[in-house]
Structure 1
Amino acid sequence: MGAADRNGQPGAAGRAPAADHPGKVRNVVLVGHSGAGKTTLVEALALTTGAVNRAGRVEDGGSVSDHDEIEQRQGRSVQLSLVPVEWDGIKVNVLDTPGYADFVGELRAGLRAADAALFVVSAAQDGEGVGGATRMVWEECAAVGMPRAVVVTHLESARAGFEETAAQVARELGGDDPDAVLPLYLPVHGPAGPDGHAPVTGLAGLLTRRVYDYSSGERAEREPPEELLPLLARSRDRLIEGIIAESEDETLMDRYLGGEDVDVGTLVADLERAVARGTFHPVLAAAPAAAGARQGLGTVELLELVTGGFPTPLERTVPPVTARDGGRTTVTCDPDGPLAAEVVKTSSDPYVGRLSLVRVFSGTLRPDDTVHVAGHGMEDRGHEDHDVDERVGALTSPFGSHQRPVPSAAAGDLVCVAKLARAETGDTLSGADRPLLMEPWQMPDPLLPVAIEAHSKADEDKLSQGLSRLVAEDPTMRLEQNRATGQVVLWCMGEAHADVALERLRGRYGVRVDAVPYRVPLRETFGRPAAARGRHVKQSGGHGQFAICEIEVEPLPAGSGIEFVDRVVGGAVPRQFVPSVEKGVRAQAARGVAMGFPVVDIRVTLSDGKAHSVDSSDAAFQTAGALALREAAAGCRIDLLEPVSEVGVLVPDAYVGPVMSDLSARRGRVLGTEPAGPGRTLVRADVPEIEIGRYAVDLRSLAHGTGRFSRHYARHEPMPAALAAKLREQGATSAAAR
């Protein structure tokens, strides 16, 4: 790496980087909040490696900055993108993830596909710095031992503060060991301009005590200025102690404290091993490429860390794999081993069709191979379970909106696969002769409901196919056909996620839909016992219709459903028509008796009735049974029942009070709290579903992006009389308007 004073060689522009062995691959995911500078950093890396020219293009016209229409319109990344570059003979697959919380599914896919994470933090004082969401992802990476480094961006900003940002990074991400998160370089500032701002012109390597000057647009090496030496010495001592603390050589610390000048090569080797193990996390500095510059400030140092310090796929454990019979099998990162690959992203290209971004964990994938496609189903999210063989289409390496052909993809690499019609995000690709299934990665539950309707009859005909394609691309989205309300509901991660989904339906699949108010599935029940007669008597020539039944209705405990009891004596209602009365009662109960919601938790007793030897029929008694239930409801108090969910809210301790207050304001009953790891608490509560329709959005604001929640249906409970009366009034107004 830069500290060892070696300059890597860029790849050639216009060709796809290639790697025939896992040791020549590095898979790195960029993590950071929206606006931290991830995409700009990727563009600078592409320029430094020669993947693009100074105009940001390659020979075939592609650009790393090519975005889809939605990203161009919104001015932010909304999907995972892969940019492969080459440095010093190493292929670096850079996975750029969206920074907005709604697209956490894209981030999860990037983490699955990568072997190391690069956290991007803005040094601008008006930026977010290390936000709560960034800390959460850092902790998740730590839990699985993923190597991590930090790059501080926006150094060109007049309000940038590298030292302050590096200190915050060590404090917020270092936890109990801030000395494991330390800078490798310090910014070097040039002369101050008329506005008093001194631009960053280079970086001072703490280990080499050399300055890497970018002021000319090309990286040059020189001696550090005198005024920087004291700060350089202090920072260098701390860095060396941090590296030695992670060294496998237990004598090194004693030798260093005894005054021995440890060789830089030894320090760099120990640093690289500690980074690859995930026990030391270097902090680097970077800025976008200046106009006309070939190398962006800090990009060479960053590439040297990635190629020298980040692990190869050989050093990472392949996710657990099972065989078709369910038995666990061992798979390693071996190009000659059995094929085990995973679809980490699915998208649609207007010219190529469906494209699957695939991480190859074992074996080698080639065009025209027949592979076995297996999925986990996730039927609750609209994903069908499948177990089929498919033929692989062309293999390509993406670059912006362009796809460049590649001959094969060996274990450890990432590649785009065309024409996998059945494969969805999260599916496993394996050899047709040896089907395998990889353990799925964790996906968050979508908790924001968006009810939709087709805009026109033409859209209605295309809606089902468009929705199935949409959810195939995005496993964080769940499609629900709500039988209780008759609505089509897309469950999304947030408002931005929903907006992108509806826009993709329109732009990609030609389906226009309208968002309509989401209806919570309420129910009705009788508030007290009631009795009524259902009389259906008509005579209009020929056979008439005659049926009379008398019923008694009484409420039952919650969860009882509907009971029907026959207590007719003397044959007042002939035996063959008793089931007809029950059928009519149940049909009316399903339609509702007050506001159109299903009636539950009642016992209906048929006590008496009358029949006619000629005019009575099954249909007549069904109608009489329905009329009797409506008549009983007309003279009785009908209660509305609302669904109540068991809610678990996981937040940092600092937000427990505000969260509990907010839940209480939503008519929730807080059941208790319990510790959920260092500095975090789980709040459990029962909350009416009508109050948490937008809780996914509101919690993000309340806990500054650091909270998560789960919800599970618990039961239906009576709605407060005042709220029920308000709903009845709204329903009457809507009916009058129609």
Structure 2
Amino acid sequence: MPNVPEISLLRNVALIAHGGGGKTTLAESLLFNGEAIARRGDVDKGTTVMSTEPEEVERRVTIVPHIGHCVWRDRWFNLIDTPGYSDFLESTRGVLDVVGGAVMLFSSEVGIKSENERLWAMVEESMVPVIGFINKLDRPRADFIRTLGTIEARLNITTLPLTIPIGVGEHFGGIVDLIPMTAWSARDGVFFQIDLPESARADAEYYRTQLIEKIVEGDDELLERYLSEGREPSLDELHKGLREAVITRRLLVVYCGSGAANIGVRSLANGIAEYFPSPIDKATVKPLVGVDPDHPERAVSRTPSPTDPFSAVAFKTVMDPFSGKLTVIRVFSGVIENEQPFYNGTRAHKEKGGRLFRLQGREMIPIQKLGVGEIGAIAKLEGVHTGDTLCAIDHPIRYERVNFQEPTHTFAVETDSKTEDKVAAGLEKLVEEDPTLRLRRDPATHELILSGMGQTHLRVVLDRLKRKYGGIATLKTARPPFRETITKKVRVQGRLKKQTGGRGQFADCWLEMEPLPRDGGYAFENRIFGGVIPRQFVPSVEKGIIEAMEQGIVGGYPVVDVKVALVDGSHHSVDSSDFAFKTAGSMGFKKGLAEAGSVLLEPVMTMEVTVPDDVLGDVIGDLNSRRGKVLGVTPKGGGGQVIAAEAPMVEVLDYGNVLNGLTSGRGLYTMRLSAYAIAPSHITRVILEQEKKSEA
């Protein structure tokens, strides 16, 4: 592999698509054509360069981003194969922040899927230029024309085919490259030029005319010359217009073919080389601006130059129990040398540096330096996490972090005592590796809670936990953190009197209990006068009350939002003690719970649900059926509606699966605990019955 060329010849490219769109196979053909690999592997056999995780080979899906590189027409391609299955799609968001362009694949069999729409929203947000590739034209149900139309309708973008197929399905024989009007095919993965079939000539001339007209529309001089003189743009003018259309995202340039057959991949590679921006061009579209870590109000900028101070972003973390931690970075400015110390601008501490590598799938190639625009890895940076900014020690900067969507599926992790430590330690490592995972210990239920983007996502996490760290665990539905409270004011007595022949136990206290507003917590008031209860025993009464609050009488849940006043009582000079008054306080509080109308409080979630227009009514109806309350609906820029709502947690524990079903995978949501509310009596009965069954 030759040395990395100058920055103007670098192309950092993400391959994005829905699950099964053919990204990994396309990457294999690009690497093969660029002579980076000697033969093309097979996804089904797990022999591709980008299939590095056993869980990926088993499921035949990409789980985490993978990096490879090759050279094509003197351009250096850094290719990043990204996840496309919905549960892992969010990790692609971090990749889009570091690339210059993205190739979005569309299956000619199924057209647009919900994952394509989510990815399109991500590239819009990241301002990433996109080239389309209609794949799998050799499949039985392939349809090029239908797929083009679906892309325009669903993504609201004008498409511009640069290649068209020669036949489809079992009749697919190659592609026509419209600019030079040449035809290409492949046999056994090796492409070659063929004569343009007469059967494809009329379509080729039609689409070439469409191509020229859409290009001249963006240039007044070309348009006038074309309309008045009938002169077509020159080859250089066409390439210049197409490059402008791609970088400004005015049009979606589309190629077509079959990644598996290596048909059309050569033309796509030419498009990547010709039309995608270099790191220098990308900085003109999205400038390199951050803040001073010590003075966040002060903006700091960089230029994509080797003479500028070093800055980079860590966009992937790999944890290995044997070789340690590997941090994958994209250099935005300057150069970093092997073992060179640097500053973590996100976490405000120095790092001693580490060995540098270039990645080709699982292969790690040692290198001496990484320059501006390059993608590589640094070994054993313990203090660096995904999303962190790395920079020169004497020129600190912090770039804005990527905002990943909050996890949508939450489960409790169940394990046996023998592997509990391995499970907890291993999950912490996996969370560090995956920015879409969350791990916490619920203080109320004492359960270990794991949150991710879907059940498949979490099951893969447990598979990796077992393989990498020896931790064995299963998922179960997390217990909602119910609470209890009282509904009316009462006055009760707590009295302990025991006489066993020797010294006895005596304590007598009167308590007034009343409810507090929601989130009022707990309040204690001492109203004892005249020493009827000695001062030293008052803290013991309160301690007994606090311990009794840990378990209410409705379902055994903690009691909240209650005020207790110690108002009267009596003591014995010999038999009274701290223990006696603590017990009396507990007895009085429990008696008060029985008389004060104890009720169950259920957690209520604030939700934000983003859905397509055509299913808005269905989603609102479903929320209403779950005792939800719709607070408002607002249009979303680019299409769709955002529903603000509240719903009891017990009704939306599995909402991710429900929303996927209602929206065919096109809906997104976030939710957080916002308040507690009294559960209706019939709901309380159902909850308690379910809890008994769960305990049994």
> 2:449 aligned with 1:449, yes or no?
no
1:150 to 111, 120, 132: 132
Distance 1:44 1:94 in 2: 12
Tell me which amino acid in the other structure corresponds to 1:404. I
Q: Compute the displacement of 1:487 (Å).
A: 1.7
The structure-2 alpha-carbon separation of the partners of 1:24 and 1:260, relative to structure 1 and needing over 3 Å to count, comes to closer
2:632 to 649, 663, 672: 672
> 2:537 aligned with 1:577, yes or no?
yes
Residue 300 (structure 1) aligns with: 266
Q: Compute the displacement of 1:48 (Å).
A: 1.2
Tell me which amino acid in the other structure corresponds to 2:382. A
The structure-2 alpha-carbon separation of the partners of 1:49 and 1:66, relative to structure 1 and needing over 3 Å to count, comes to same
The structure-2 alpha-carbon separation of the partners of 1:94 and 1:732, relative to structure 1 and needing over 3 Å to count, comes to closer
Whether the 8 Å contact between 2:97 and 2:126 is mirrored in structure 1 is no
Q: Compute the displacement of 1:413 (Å).
A: 0.9
Whether the 8 Å contact between 2:554 and 2:599 is mirrored in structure 1 is no
> 2:173 aligned with 1:201, yes or no?
yes
Deviates more, 1:326-335 or 1:433-442: 433-442
Question: RCO higher in 1 or 2 (8 Å CA, sep ≥ 6)?
Answer: 1
Structure 2, unmatched stretches of 5+, are none
Summarize deviations over 1:21-65 as a string: whole Å, max 9, x none: 2212101111111011111111111111111123549xxx99515
Distance 2:579 2:276 in 1: 76
The structure-2 alpha-carbon separation of the partners of 1:613 and 1:80, relative to structure 1 and needing over 3 Å to count, comes to same
**1:156-171 residue pairs with structure 2 within 5 A?**
156-171=138-153
**1:43-62 residue pairs with structure 2 within 5 A?**
43-54=28-39, 56=41
Distance 1:289 1:569 in 2: 88
The count of corresponding residues between Structure 1 and Structure 2 is: 687
Residue 430 (structure 2) aligns with: 470
1:513 to 473, 488, 504: 473
Residue 638 (structure 1) aligns with: 598
Q: Compute the displacement of 1:224 (Å).
A: 2.0
Distance 2:560 2:25 in 1: 58
Residue 75 (structure 2) aligns with: 90
TM-score by length of 2: 0.94
2:645 to 685, 701, 716: 685
Tell me which amino acid in the other structure corresponds to 1:41. L
Residue 381 (structure 1) aligns with: none
Whether the 8 Å contact between 1:455 and 1:514 is mirrored in structure 2 is no
Tell me which amino acid in the other structure corresponds to 1:164. R
> 2:658 aligned with 1:698, yes or no?
yes
Distance 1:116 1:734 in 2: 50
Matched position secondary structure for 1:727: helix
> 2:680 aligned with 1:720, yes or no?
yes
TM-score by length of 1: 0.88
**1:232-381 residue pairs with structure 2 within 5 A?**
232-247=204-219, 250-258=220-228, 259-290=230-261, 296-317=262-283, 318-326=287-295, 327-349=298-320, 351-375=322-346
Q: Compute the displacement of 1:730 (Å).
A: 4.2
Q: Compute the displacement of 1:143 (Å).
A: 4.2
Matched position secondary structure for 2:317: strand
Distance 2:590 2:443 in 1: 23
1:68 to 39, 53, 75: 53
**1:17-28 residue pairs with structure 2 within 5 A?**
18-28=3-13
**1:500-579 residue pairs with structure 2 within 5 A?**
500-540=460-500, 542-579=502-539
Distance 1:664 1:230 in 2: 55
Tell me which amino acid in the other structure corresponds to 2:212. I
The structure-2 alpha-carbon separation of the partners of 1:74 and 1:56, relative to structure 1 and needing over 3 Å to count, comes to closer
1:392 to 341, 353, 374: 353
2:458 to 485, 494, 498: 498
Whether the 8 Å contact between 2:358 and 2:366 is mirrored in structure 1 is yes
Tell me which amino acid in the other structure corresponds to 1:163. I
Residue 410 (structure 1) aligns with: 371
The structure-2 alpha-carbon separation of the partners of 1:350 and 1:486, relative to structure 1 and needing over 3 Å to count, comes to closer
Distance 2:629 2:146 in 1: 43
**1:170-185 residue pairs with structure 2 within 5 A?**
170-175=152-157, 178=158, 181-185=159-163
Matched position secondary structure for 2:439: strand
Summarize deviations over 1:292-329 as a string: whole Å, max 9, x none: xxxx1111101111111100011112543222322221
Residue 594 (structure 1) aligns with: 554
Matched position secondary structure for 1:527: coil
Distance 2:692 2:686 in 1: 10
> 2:398 aligned with 1:428, yes or no?
no
Distance 1:216 1:551 in 2: 87
Distance 1:405 1:97 in 2: 24
Tell me which amino acid in the other structure corresponds to 2:608. G
Tell me which amino acid in the other structure corresponds to 2:294. D
Distance 1:62 1:729 in 2: 51
Q: Compute the displacement of 1:340 (Å).
A: 0.6
Q: Compute the displacement of 1:74 (Å).
A: 1.7
Distance 1:289 1:681 in 2: 38
- Percent of residue pairs bearing the same amino acid type: 34
The structure-2 alpha-carbon separation of the partners of 1:157 and 1:352, relative to structure 1 and needing over 3 Å to count, comes to same
